[in-house]
Structure 1
Amino acid sequence: MEEHRPVTIYDIAERLNLATSTISRALKDHHSISDKTIKKVKKTAEEMGFVPNTLAAGLRGNKTKTIGVLIPTITQPFLSSLISGIEVTARKSDYSVIIMQSHDSYEDEVNMTKSLYSSRVSGVICSLAMETKDTSHFQQFSNNNIPLVFVDRVPKGYNTFRVVIDNYTAGYKATKHLIDQGCKRIAHLTAGAEFGNLYKERKRGYLDALTDHGLPVKEEWIINLKAMTYDAGVKACQKLFGLKVPPDGLFAPGDILAVSAVQTAKKRGIKVPQDFAVIGFNNDPISEIIEPNISTITHPADKMGKAAANIVIDTIGSRKEEEAKEITFLNTEVLIRESSKRA
């Protein structure tokens, strides 16, 4: 079977006995080509099944109308919603989206930024990998005027666009809710202060809420995780429950961690929320499926994705250099469910 080959402007030129440059200009409605020739060329192109190679055209013009999205994983509901917001907004402006997953690996993230750059993307939206400390691999975009927006997990000290929530206030709200339910020994899972601002700010809100309400802060009740996974949460909670004075409440910075806490408690015969109240973060679907339902903090992922995409598209379309800015979503709310509701 003969392999089907795409029709090119050379094929059209041969059919019409015209120069390829004439064909190319006619397809673009160039003023130097007569209306009669333009009509003839377009009619022939349609008959022959010619499809313009927009990627090649984009590479020649250094623009592909493509936004690169680099995230830790697509399996987290928050990040799935973020991608949805980006994609919907991009499509409205005729941009396509390339999605890459770092799986929280610094090395993978570095390689993927190289791949996105070599693909000549028009802009990049990124939520950093857990392992990432050095962000110099993003400089290739900044140095070449390719709009770069960090979302949610954002680096410290990198002067570019960022879209975040008020993580400090969200952390404070979550902890205060547990205090309002009568918790006196509140634990917290975090990712370590060395990683960006996201978990650091949630932890700061947790600490200030305890201090403001005269409750103790104990290092043994604060556990740094290397990964925000179910298994990591189980190990951390087993450690907490094994303490001489175990906590009676937990603020988990992700719903999957809250789920691991609830299930670990139940296996040990610890009553939730009577003996151990739990609140998570993100309002993932799993938070409403598990028994008891998980109290959580809302996270406007879809809106954040739309905001990030709009920044990229607006910056590409602007003739002047845009000043880097931060968009902070303040509308996080406490959703009170069974896992923490004592009163």
Structure 2
Amino acid sequence: MSPDKITIHDIARILNVDSSTVSRALNDSPRVTEKTKNRIIAKAHELGYQRNDLASNLRKNKTNTLGVIVPRISRHFFSSAIAGIEETSYNLGYNVIICQSLEQLEREHNNINTLVANRVDGVLVSISMETKNYEHFEGLRKRKIPFVFFDRHLDIPDTSSVLIDDFQAGFDATEHLIIKGCEKIAHFSGPMHLEIYKNRCEGYKAALLKHDMEFSEELIFSSRLMEQDGVDNVNKIIELPYKVDGIFSANDVAAISALQQLKRNGYKIPEDIAIVGFSNEGISAVIEPSLTTINQPGFDIGKRAAELLISQITNSNKNFINEKIVIQASLVERDSSQHNMAF
């Protein structure tokens, strides 16, 4: 008989004992003598018996499985966050199912349906760029499945999140360019309905205000921050009737493509235009010139998010908890902004 077909009933028949005795022995019940317990465990090992943990957990209405939804696994921040989630979950006895929305609301809906169908105990999610409402998350709430946002979040009452201080990070990035002598700073923003991009833009504005610099809506370029968006934004900047000498991009992808497009057009970085990105993608340190960026501690964010979700899963009263954990990001200065243009 194949080992994956062995059941407690087979062990009971071979040893001529009740199947209930086998079950108790395999669950280390004190109702079974050590001699009988050892005999049953030895036979189970000999036959290659494997417990059906899924069936056992389902009987307890618990699967010890977490669902994770991210926009793109390929992004360094999200892969780092997943590593933190997976390690923490494993250490606390949970498995992880990972889905990606690819920045599509419909796919995010389908991800949640898949996770619900797989009976996950809770969900960790960083929302897509298309997500503007939270009906699908209300479905989780009705099923009493706790969920925690990380990085990108929705402002929903009685929900928890693990975030960086996006306002402060946006402020630090912009002030860094100002200190380096930039006088006209453009901002590449993501969709403004998302809290993270709204907050990063507010930080940008606050830094300009602090240094008595004029704010212009014309210098805000909102997009999905893909590679082509960085190129398109640079082409718009070049057409402006005045010189832009600094760019703060709300992600590294658009910042890097902007840097490359500027170089193709004969601009020197940072002498002509200094650039700061966001997220500290792996490529940011090796491009030429290397990119100054905001480092998001992805592993730590994932770790804290998993700990927070598991604490809610194990919370006996099953009430949804409103807890926000804010983690500080840091500026990593590299060649794209190091040249001090101030007199």
Q: TM-score normalised by the shorter chain: which range applies?
A: over 0.9
Aligned to 2:86: 87
Q: 1:176 to 1:33 in 2, by over 3 A?
A: same
1:222-233 correspondence runs (5 A): 222-225=220-223, 227-233=224-230
Aligned to 1:121: 120
Moved more, 42-51 or 8-17: 8-17
Count residues in correspondence. 339
Question: What is the Cα deviation at residue 142 of structure 1?
Answer: 2.5
Percent of residue pairs identical: 39
Cα distance in 1 for partners of 2:191, 2:213 equals 22
Moved more, 317-326 or 123-132: 317-326
Cα distance in 2 for partners of 1:28, 1:333 equals 49
Question: What is the Cα deviation at residue 333 of structure 1?
Answer: 2.0
Q: Are 1:117 and 1:140, in contact at CA under 8 Å, matched by a contact in 2? A: no
1:144-159 correspondence runs (5 A): 144-159=143-158
1:324-335 correspondence runs (5 A): 324-330=322-328, 332-335=329-332
Cα distance in 2 for partners of 1:117, 1:85 equals 23
1:156-195 correspondence runs (5 A): 156-195=155-194
Moved more, 166-175 or 210-219: 210-219
Q: Which runs of 5+ in 2 are unaligned?
A: none
Cα distance in 2 for partners of 1:17, 1:242 equals 87
Q: Are 2:265 and 1:268 equivalent residues in the alignment?
A: yes
Structure 1 ranges of 4+ moved more than 6 A: none
Question: What is the Cα deviation at residue 91 of structure 1?
Answer: 1.5
Q: Which runs of 5+ in 1 are unaligned?
A: none
Q: Are 1:126 and 1:151, in contact at CA under 8 Å, matched by a contact in 2? A: yes
Structure 2 residue identity aligned to 1:313: I
Question: What is the Cα deviation at residue 4 of structure 1?
Answer: 7.3
Secondary structure of 1:216 counterpart = coil
Secondary structure of 1:297 counterpart = strand
Q: Are 2:256 and 1:259 equivalent residues in the alignment?
A: yes
Q: Are 2:197 and 1:199 equivalent residues in the alignment?
A: yes
Q: Scaled by the length of structure 1, what TM-score is found?
A: 0.93
Cα distance in 1 for partners of 2:3, 2:59 equals 25
Question: What is the Cα deviation at residue 37 of structure 1?
Answer: 3.5
Question: What is the Cα deviation at residue 140 of structure 1?
Answer: 3.3
Secondary structure of 1:192 counterpart = coil
CA deviation vs aligned residue, 1:84-108 (integer Å, no higher than 9, x gap): 1111111111212111111111111
Aligned pair partner of 1:312 in 309, 314, 335 = 309
Secondary structure of 1:128 counterpart = coil
Q: Are 2:185 and 2:248, in contact at CA under 8 Å, matched by a contact in 1? A: yes
Question: What is the Cα deviation at residue 9 of structure 1?
Answer: 2.1
Question: What is the Cα deviation at residue 250 of structure 1?
Answer: 0.5
Secondary structure of 1:163 counterpart = strand
Cα distance in 1 for partners of 2:222, 2:320 equals 37
Secondary structure of 1:339 counterpart = helix
Q: Are 1:228 and 1:254, in contact at CA under 8 Å, matched by a contact in 2? A: yes
Aligned to 2:24: 25
Q: Are 2:343 and 1:340 equivalent residues in the alignment?
A: no
Moved more, 239-248 or 90-99: 239-248
Cα distance in 2 for partners of 1:189, 1:288 equals 20
Question: What is the Cα deviation at residue 256 of structure 1?
Answer: 1.5
Cα distance in 2 for partners of 1:3, 1:308 equals 41
Secondary structure of 1:272 counterpart = coil
Q: CA RMSD for the aligned pairs?
A: 1.9
Aligned to 1:218: 216
CA deviation vs aligned residue, 1:183-230 (integer Å, no higher than 9, x gap): 1111111123222x10000001111211222222222211110x2321
Structure 2 residue identity aligned to 1:252: S
Question: What is the Cα deviation at residue 3 of structure 1?
Answer: 7.8
Question: What is the Cα deviation at residue 322 of structure 1?
Answer: 6.2
Structure 1 residue identity aligned to 2:330: E
Structure 1 residue identity aligned to 2:274: A
Structure 1 residue identity aligned to 2:29: H
Secondary structure of 2:38 counterpart = helix
